[in-house]
Amino acid sequence: MTLNRRTVLSAIAATMMLAACGKKAEPAPTEAPAPAPAPAAATAPAPAAAKVYKVASDASYAPFESQTDDKKVVGFDVDVLTAVGDKAGIKVEFINTPWEGIFATLGTGDRDLVASAVTITDERKQSMDFTDSYFEAKQLIAVPEASKIAKADDLKTKKVGVQTGTTGDEVVQKLLGKTSANIKRFESTPLALKELQNGGVDAVVADNGVVINFVANNPGSKLKTVDDAGFAKEYYGFALKKGNTELAAKINDGLKQIKADGTYDKIYAKYFGEKK
Residue 159 DSSP label: -
* Lowest mean per-residue pLDDT among 21-25, 35-39, 139-143, 255-259: 21-25
Exposure of 10 in the CB half-sphere (CA atoms within 13 A) = 5
pTM of the model: 0.76
- Of the candidates 139, 165, 138, 141, which has an alpha carbon nearest to the alpha carbon of residue 151? 141
The whole-angstrom separation of Cα 211 and Cα 223 is: 10
> What CATH number does domain 52-136+235-272 carry, 3.40.50.300, 3.40.190.10, 2.30.42.10, 3.10.20.90?
3.40.190.10
* Contact by Cβ (8 Å): 216, 93: no
- The string of pLDDT tens digits covering residues 75-88 is 999 999 999 999 99
Q: Taking Cα atoms as reference points, which of 57, 75, 63 lies closest to residue 115?
A: 57
CA distances from 5 to 12, 14, 20, 60, 137 (A): 11, 15, 23, 130, 137
- Give tens-digit pLDDT for 180-223: 999 999 999 999 999 999 999 999 999 999 999 999 999 899 99
Helix ranges (H only) for 145-188 are: 167-176
In this prediction, residue 21 has a pLDDT band, given cuts at 50, 70 and 90, of: very low
User: CA–CA separation, 158 vs 231, rounded Å?
Assistant: 18
Domain chopping of the chain, boundaries: 52-136+235-272, 139-226
Same fold across 52-136+235-272 and 139-226: yes
CATH number for the 139-226 domain, one of 3.40.50.300, 3.40.1160.10, 3.40.190.10, 3.40.5.50?
3.40.190.10
What sign does the CA torsion over 54, 55, 57, 62 have? negative
Mean pLDDT within 246-251: 97
Residues in the chain: 276
Give the H or E element holding residue 205.
strand 203-207
